[in-house]
């Protein structure tokens, strides 16, 4: 412990060297920019700036590139909140309640809460990284396909808590999402599934085109300008900050999101994507007012935003202690370190002590920089909403097209976005909620792959899910959750007649 603190102090000495401070700032600045702009995510941001780092030393390079990564998590929510365009998969959940808050004139509050939540989660993540990275990494390695499967079964159970529509409607949306998620080459056998000879569909349907279409474009199609004319939301600058009540509603979701995101973030693989979805479902499940979700619940912004930020920090745990990537972004960072002759791996801490601790310390500094950078920007971003709707929505459509195209440079993705926009419009008319669809899409490929991988490992024996400790524990939680739901359903059925009457009186069209 003392040793850790000494090393960290040494690291701060390195992080505060003017050069390192400067590159941390540049990284955070670029990160904010790529986070705010839809389409350019951290992955392309980092790889585009990679050649720039050839002239720097390894410490400067990794400080700057990592700054882009965690910096982009801050800005990621901006377009979600203001325009309902999720730039990355991790900010999909934010656009539901964040944009609803903006519609109520609380865009500034939503952005502030997102920034503070990101800061808290980021700092919590680094603290954990500093204190207990090596033992955590060892646990992360135990997380193989069976554990993944169990985690995703939990995710599927959580699906039911995602939406305020009836269970049948929620499940239908989820199944549609699962179906869309199975399009593309089957990783296990090489068969093309439902891709109709489009090579672009080979990797499946991306989350960004679907989410941008369903949420962003769908919203525009359902909002003709003649209805909005004259009622522009003009936020007053003194109303930018969250109220005391909003802060109070944000504390616990931020805390829970930070822990949940970090735990999921350290798992190698693509689990980090589901962190913000799980956080949203969790907040809705334990909220006293679940009906507020979707209509501008503060917890629906605070929880997922914190979760995705601490997941991105958690991803550094296996990267720095084991040299294994948890996702494409940490893979690029490992590649960047290798280019500079610093192999990421268990020996990083001992062989490159200055780099390791300088890097860790720079993340504390960088998170503070990002908070100071993002809070003043809130005022600037919110003024986007001063543009009259008739001028604003063409701009949003432009962002939808560019944002989706830039992710993969694929025009097929943009077509998918348009089709999803039309679907989103129709779903609205028929009173369906698209959020479970997106979670289904996220879960399907990972769930299917890990299920089938587990069965390969066990040669077809389903007991594999119950005779490994972590997997068994997760399965036990799933069974308890299902049991509780069944119990609640059973109890509710007793007074169903009263409920049905209430539903007929008020529900339709809601």
Is 168 among the residues that bind other proteins (CB under 8 A)? yes
The nearer residue to other proteins, 253 or 268, going by C-beta atoms, is 268
The nearer residue to other proteins, 238 or 494, going by C-beta atoms, is 494
* Nearest one of 208, 240, 178, 245 to 39, comparing CA atoms: 208
Is 266 among the residues that bind other proteins (CB under 8 A)? no
Q: Given the rule CB under 8 A, which of 122-130, 183-191, 352-360, 370-378 is the region that contacts other proteins? A: 183-191
Is 171 among the residues that bind other proteins (CB under 8 A)? yes
The nearer residue to other proteins, 7 or 47, going by C-beta atoms, is 47
What distance in Å separates the CA atoms of residue 462 and residue 460, rounded to the nearest whole number? 6
State the number of binding residues for other proteins (CB under 8 A): 117
For β-strands 184-185 and 192-193, DSSP reports them as antiparallel
Is 421 among the residues that bind other proteins (CB under 8 A)? yes
CB-CB neighbours of 167 under 10 Å: 11
Contact positions with other proteins (CB under 8 A) in 313-372: 322-325, 328-329, 331-332, 334-335, 338-341, 343-347
Is 482 among the residues that bind other proteins (CB under 8 A)? no
The C-alpha torsion from 355 through 361 and 367 to 369, rounded to 10°, is -90
Contact pattern for other proteins over residues 223 through 252, marking x by CB under 8 A: xxxxx-------------------------
Shortest approach of other proteins to residue 309 CB, angstroms?
21
Q: Kindly tell me which residue out of 43, 114, 205, 315 binds other proteins, with binding defined by CB under 8 A.
A: 43
Shortest approach of other proteins to residue 172 CB, angstroms?
5
Contact positions with other proteins (CB under 8 A) in 9-38: 30, 33-34, 37
The nearer residue to other proteins, 113 or 337, going by C-beta atoms, is 337
What distance in Å separates the CA atoms of residue 123 and residue 130, rounded to the nearest whole number? 10
Shortest approach of other proteins to residue 241 CB, angstroms?
28
Q: Kindly tell me which residue out of 190, 376, 469, 506 binds other proteins, with binding defined by CB under 8 A.
A: 190
The nearer residue to other proteins, 192 or 247, going by C-beta atoms, is 192
Shortest approach of other proteins to residue 153 CB, angstroms?
13
The nearer residue to other proteins, 9 or 338, going by C-beta atoms, is 338
| 3 state DSSP class of 185 | strand
Shortest approach of other proteins to residue 452 CB, angstroms?
6
Contact positions with other proteins (CB under 8 A) in 64-123: none
Shortest approach of other proteins to residue 119 CB, angstroms?
24
Is 431 among the residues that bind other proteins (CB under 8 A)? yes
The nearer residue to other proteins, 8 or 412, going by C-beta atoms, is 412
Is 46 among the residues that bind other proteins (CB under 8 A)? yes
* DSSP codes, 445-479: HHHHHHHHHHHHHTTS-GGGGTSSHHHHHHHHHHH
Q: Given the rule CB under 8 A, which of 92-100, 282-290, 362-370, 430-438 is the region that contacts other proteins? A: 430-438
What distance in Å separates the CA atoms of residue 71 and residue 110, rounded to the nearest whole number? 18
Q: Kindly tell me which residue out of 10, 103, 169, 353 binds other proteins, with binding defined by CB under 8 A.
A: 169
* DSSP codes, 374-406: HHHHHHHHHGGGGS-HHHHHHHHHHHHHHHHHH
Is 448 among the residues that bind other proteins (CB under 8 A)? yes
Token code pair at residue 306: 């914190």
Is 222 among the residues that bind other proteins (CB under 8 A)? yes
Contact pattern for other proteins over residues 139 through 158, marking x by CB under 8 A: --xxxxx-------------
Exposure of 488 by Cβ count < 10 A (0-12 exposed, 13-18 middle, 19+ buried)?
exposed
Q: Kindly tell me which residue out of 172, 377, 384, 481 binds other proteins, with binding defined by CB under 8 A.
A: 172
* DSSP codes, 323-342: ---SSHHHHHHHHHHHHTT-
Token code pair at residue 451: 């299920």
* Nearest one of 170, 306, 175, 196 to 251, comparing CA atoms: 306
Is 432 among the residues that bind other proteins (CB under 8 A)? yes
From residue 435, alpha-carbon distances to 83, 118, 207, 413 in Å are 17, 22, 12, 19
Q: Write the secondary structure of 81-122 as one string of H (helix), E (strand) and C (coil).
A: HHHCCCCCHHHCCHHHHHHHHHHCCCHHHHHHHHHHHHHHHH
Residues listed for the chain: 510
Is 193 among the residues that bind other proteins (CB under 8 A)? yes
The nearer residue to other proteins, 133 or 301, going by C-beta atoms, is 133
Shortest approach of other proteins to residue 483 CB, angstroms?
21
Sign of CA dihedral 110, 113, 119, 124: negative
Shortest approach of other proteins to residue 316 CB, angstroms?
15
Contact positions with other proteins (CB under 8 A) in 395-414: 395, 397-398, 401-402, 405-406, 408-411, 414
Is 420 among the residues that bind other proteins (CB under 8 A)? no
Is 194 among the residues that bind other proteins (CB under 8 A)? yes
Nearest-5° angle of CA 211, CA 240, CA 93?
Answer: 20
CB 274 within 8 A of CB 443: yes
CB 78 within 8 A of CB 381: yes
Give bridge partners of residue 192 from the DSSP assignment.
185
The b-or-e profile of 359-393 (16+ CB within 10 A means b, else e) is bbbbbbbbbebbbebbbebbeebbebbeeebeebb
Is 386 among the residues that bind other proteins (CB under 8 A)? no
């Amino acid at each position: 412990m003392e040793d850790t603190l000494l090393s960290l102090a040494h690291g701060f000495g390195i992080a505060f060297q003017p050069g390192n401070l400067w590159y941390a700032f540049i990284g955070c600045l670029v990160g904010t920019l790529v986070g705010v702009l839809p389409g350019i995510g951290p992955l392309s941001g980092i790889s585009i700036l990679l050649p720039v780092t050839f002239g720097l030393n390894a410490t400067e390079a990794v400080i700057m590139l990592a700054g882009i990564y965690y910096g982009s998590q801050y800005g990621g929510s901006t377009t979600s909140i203001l325009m309902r365009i999720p730039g990355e998969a991790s900010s999909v959940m934010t656009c539901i309640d964040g944009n609803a808050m903006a519609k109520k004139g609380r865009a500034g509050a939503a952005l502030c809460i997102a920034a503070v939540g990101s800061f808290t989660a980021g700092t919590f993540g680094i603290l954990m990284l500093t204190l207990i990275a090596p033992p955590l990494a060892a646990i992360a390695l135990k997380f193989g396909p069976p554990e993944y499967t169990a985690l995703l079964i939990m995710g599927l159970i959580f699906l039911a808590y995602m939406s305020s529509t009836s269970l049948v409607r929620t499940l239908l949306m989820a199944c549609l999402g699962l179906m869309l998620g199975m399009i593309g080459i089957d990783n296990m056998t090489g068969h093309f599934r439902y891709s109709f000879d489009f090579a672009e569909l080979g990797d499946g349907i991306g989350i960004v085109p679907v989410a941008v279409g369903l949420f962003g474009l769908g919203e525009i199609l359902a909002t003709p300008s003649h209805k909005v004319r004259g009622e522009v939301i003009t936020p007053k600058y003194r109303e930018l900050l969250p109220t005391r009540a909003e802060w109070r509603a944000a504390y616990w979701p931020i805390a829970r999101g930070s822990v949940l995101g970090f735990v999921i973030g350290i798992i190698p693989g693509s689990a980090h994507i589901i962190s913000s979805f799980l956080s949203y479902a969790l907040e809705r499940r334990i909220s006293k007012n679940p009906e507020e979700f979707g209509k501008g619940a503060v917890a629906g912004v605070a929880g997922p935003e914190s979760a995705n930020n601490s997941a991105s920090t958690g991803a550094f745990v296996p990267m720095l202690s084991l040299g294994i990537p948890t996702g494409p972004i940490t893979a690029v960072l490992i590649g960047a370190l290798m280019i500079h002759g610093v192999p990421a791996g268990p020996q990083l801490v001992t062989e490159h002590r200055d780099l390791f601790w300088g890097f860790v310390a720079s993340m504390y500094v960088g998170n503070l920089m990002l908070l100071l950078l993002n809070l003043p920007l809130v005022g600037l971003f919110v003024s986007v909403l001063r543009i009259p709707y008739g001028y604003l929505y063409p701009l949003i459509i432009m962002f939808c097209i560019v944002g989706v195209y830039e992710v993969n440079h694929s025009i097929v993705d943009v077509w998918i976005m348009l089709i999803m926009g039309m679907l989103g419009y129709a779903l609205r008319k028929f009173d369906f909620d698209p959020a479970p669809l997106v979670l289904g899409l996220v879960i399907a490929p990972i769930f299917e792959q890990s299920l089938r991988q587990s069965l390969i490992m066990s040669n077809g024996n389903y007991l594999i899910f119950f005779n490994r400790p972590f997997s068994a524990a997760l399965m036990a939680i799933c069974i308890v959750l299902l049991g509780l739901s069944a119990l609640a359903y059973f109890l509710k059925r007793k007074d169903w007649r009263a409920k049905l009457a209430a539903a007929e009186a008020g529900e339709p069209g809601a």
